[in-house]
A and B are shown apart, each in its own frame.
Chain A
Amino acid sequence: MSVVPAGGWLNRVRGAMAKTRASIAAPVNKVLGRGVFDESTWDELEEVLISADMGLPAALEIIEHLRRESLRHPPADSAELKTMLQAAIAAELVPAQTLSDDGNSSLTVILLVGVNGTGKTTTAGKLARRFADAGGTVIIAAADTFRAAAIEQVAVWAARTGAYLVKHTRGGDSAAVAYDAAAAATARGADYLIIDTAGRLQTKTPLMEELKKVKGVIERELPEARLLSWLVMDATTGQNGVAQASAFADRIGLDGLILTKLDGTAKGGIVVAVARATGLPVVMLGTGETETDLVDFDSDDFAAALLD
């Protein structure tokens, strides 16, 4: 089933990011506005990219590319150089598959994972809102059995969005929650099962093993379902984001990234570093406090919004 109204989310990224201060437009304009392109132009642009958390390797690569391009096709003006920069940034990103690139499965399971405090539960709630608005039957599994009151938080979201809630008690086995959720999804003929898991730092081996178990249960119990494992990452994340994505991808396997809290001053450039290191696509962006502030990701829009 398709939940993405055709063209409906277009430009939402740009709008969402323009609303905030999450852009590197001002410093880029300042550098380019001088109208003189020399060594210090490149150095300063490199700094701007670093200040957006793209990381030094990606920044160097983008600038090097830009430098070579501008030798081959000297840009007429700063506007053209800016367009070239925009294209170079977008080229670093991996095109996302949207949810509408549906297979034949009737049930989509979304496993939300990530380090502590990135907004997994809020994202679960926003996803539930979105699927429910599109007319789907949604189940949320409260598989964060570790954090105090995490289950209550999910329960509030379930009530708000009309999703069914599967929960155990705190301290319970998250794989057992997943098992019950899988059974519930089958019994109710659900369209979407969203699994909210406990935040865990990627270096904690036993916790990563636990997550693997949760995923294993879903794969075993719902072999026909489309399972998407998404890493939820805070837009303020620095270069540790690369380690996060690599570790979660290695240990449990990932299908994509959701970048949250893009409504601050953080630019979320970490997704460029992550894409470069892991090849993971960004799927959606969390752009605000309201239930509908979750939009599909588009590389070109994102790069444009960064520079707008």
Chain B
Amino acid sequence: MFDTLAGRFTDILAGIRGRGRIDEKDVAEASRQIRLALLEADVNFKVVKEIVADVKSLALGESVLKSLTPGQQVVKVLRDELARVMGESAVPLRIGKRPDVIILAGLQGCGKTTAAAKLALYLRREGKKTLLVAADTYRPAAQDQLVSLGAELGVDVWRGEPGQTAVDIASAAVQAESATPHDVVIVDTAGRLHIDDELMREIVALKTAVTPGHILFVADAMIGQDAVNQASAFDDALDFDGVILTKLDGDARGGAALSIKQVTGKPIMFVSTGEKPQDFEVFHPDRMAARILGMGDVISLIERAESAVDESEARALAEKLEREAFTLDDFLSQLEQISKMGGLNDMISMLPSHMLPKELRGAEVEESGLGRTKAIIQSMTSQERQTPRLIDGSRRARIARGSGTTVTEVNGLLKQFEAMRKMVKSAQGKSKKRGWPAGFPG
């Protein structure tokens, strides 16, 4: 997410970072390019103006120009400004007394229903039991969608009777809550245009009827300049508490994230980052600002590693490496952890760009290679996985057939694995004590 913007900023700042002297002309040129990059990222043009003006005046300030590393200082000014616009630090969703009602509101197709299910799953990880309420009475089969998502994820879903209005359904669900034990009730509403007076009245009535603890505005990360109109109108009508930004897993520039906070003053609380139900995270503006500027987001990467990797497993692996008993089975489980952590591309995007080889910056790595490697290992017997040197010519042919790959690919993998083992050995020779960080592929 935000990769394109990150790529642009990396280029712009490469020219200025590390410079011992900068003058007004340098700042003016950088400002011009920053404006272009932000507009291309769909940041609202008024917000762009503000950001550029702020950065310009701060960058031309005495403290920057007279510092020993003015280039670095300009980068810092921009980072701070982006973080400020997006809202400094993460704003947590605090669940209040039971049942805490959360209403999700937004335009058609912004991903409310999916976000409702993902939020329920997130809350479950936080130890909260959730009821999903299907209050979209307009879109055909919208209620079915929530019911089937709920069934898949093991989350309770309340659906209304035919003919009931959204207000009827949600009120009944909340009333029934005195009897059933849910900590949170999430109300999924119909998508509505912010200028559709009738539907906007409906959602205001819904708010009055169920007195929610939180109203979250769901916004598609791909929206352009209209983001601020939509957000402002919903905020005027509902005074929402925060924003869920969806579909951030594409190459959306995410300018909406910067604009909505700046214009409504309401924080981005969550981002939805993938097709899988667990692809849903708390939004950290400070980390995101660093990421946009190509400084990476190592903290989030480590957190993700922690949640994807079992600590005792990681320790066992480290020991195996120590004893040089690392097998193809271990290699396979490492590959699986990479996908659990969001895949290679996602992990690469979280590393500081200057740490990456040029070809990896902003590029999409073909992840299907991982799948083929997995298939090859899965086509081996457990004996072969433990003792790869058993794998002779005829076994290689069998494995290639079984995995739908070629003997050349099988050879390649075995060679790679051998090289990796050697590398581990030599790395251990160099620093016996340090071991391997958890969750990183060997």
The distance from the CB of A70 to the nearest CB of chain B, in whole angstroms, is 23
Q: For the complex, what is the distance from the CA of A155 to the CA of B223, rounded to whole Å?
A: 29
Contact B109 A265 (CB under 8 A): no
Whether the Cβ atoms of A239 and B253 lie closer than 8 Å is: yes
A264 touching B194 in the complex, CB below 8 Å, given contacts A157-B140, A243-B251:
yes
**CB within 8 A of A148: which of B42, B145, B195?**
B145
A40-68 CB contact bits vs B (8 Å, 1 = yes)? 00000001001111011000000000000
- Complex Cα gap A55–B224 (Å): 10
Interface window among A85-93, A100-108, A197-205 = A197-205
Partner of B141, one of A21, A156, A267: A156
A237 touches B224 (CB 8 A): yes
Is there an interface contact between B223 and A238, defined as CB atoms closer than 8 Å?
Answer: yes
Known: A50-B39, A149-B141, A237-B223. A119 touches B148 (CB 8 A): no
Q: Is B108 an interface residue (CB 8 A)?
A: yes
A289: min CB distance to chain B, Å? 8
**Interface residues in B252-308 (C-beta closer than 8 Å to A):** 252-253, 255-256, 275
Interface residue SS majority, chain B: loop
Contact of B144 among A116, A152, A241 (CB under 8 A): A152
Q: Is the CB of A236 within 8 A of B220?
A: yes
Interface size bracket, A side: 35 or more
What is the minimal beta-carbon distance from B79 to any residue of chain A, in angstroms?
A: 23
Across the interface, do B225 and A240 meet the contact criterion of CB distance under 8 Å?
Answer: no
**Which residues from A are CB-within-8-Å of B336?**
none
Q: Which of B63-112 contact A (CB under 8 A)?
A: 107-111
Does residue A8 face the partner (Cβ distance < 8 Å to B)?
no
Segment at the A interface, from B174-182, B237-245, B363-371: B363-371
Rounded to whole Å, the gap between the CB of B48 and the closest CB of chain A is 9
Asked if A265 meets B224 with Cβ closer than 8 Å, knowing A148-B145, A148-B149, A148-B152, the reply is no
Partner of A201 from B39, B193, B249 at Cβ < 8 Å: B249
Contacts of B250 in A (CB 8 A): 115, 201-204, 240, 243
Interface centre among B109, B152, B222, B367 (most CB of A within 10 A): B222
Complex contacts, A147 vs chain B, CB 8 Å: 145
Q: Select the residue from B40, B140, B229 with max chain A CB neighbours within 10 A.
A: B140
- Contact residues of B between 210 and 248, Cβ < 8 Å to A: 220, 222-227, 229-230, 247
Asked if A261 is at the interface of the complex by the 8 Å CB criterion, the answer is yes
One of B107, B109, B145 near A149 (C-beta < 8 A): B145
**Residue of B at shortest CB range from A266?**
B226
Contact partner, B224, options A56, A115, A205, A238, Cβ 8 Å: A238
**Chain A residues positioned under 8 Å from B36 (CB to CB):** 56
**A56 lies within 8 A of B40 (CB):** yes
Q: Does A118 contact B (CB under 8 A)?
A: yes
Report the Cα distance A28→B226, complex, angstroms. Answer: 17
Asked if A119 meets B224 with Cβ closer than 8 Å, knowing A56-B39, A206-B368, A238-B255, the reply is: no
Listed by A's residue number, 19 A-B pairs whose Cβ atoms lie within 8 Å are A53-B42, A55-B40, A117-B109, A148-B145, A148-B149, A153-B141, A156-B140, A170-B148, A203-B250, A206-B368, A234-B220, A237-B222, A238-B223, A240-B42, A240-B222, A261-B107, A264-B195, A265-B229, A266-B226
The 6 closest A-B pairs by CB, nearest first: A238-B224, A117-B109, A238-B42, A149-B145, A156-B140, A201-B250
A residues contacting B by CB (< 8 A) are 20-21, 47, 50-53, 55-56, 115-119, 147-150, 152-153, 155-157, 170, 201-206, 234, 236-241, 243, 261, 263-267, 270
Q: Chain B: residues with CB nearer than 8 A to chain A? A: 36, 39-42, 45, 107-111, 113, 139-142, 144-149, 152, 193-195, 220, 222-227, 229-230, 247, 249-253, 255-256, 275, 364, 366-368
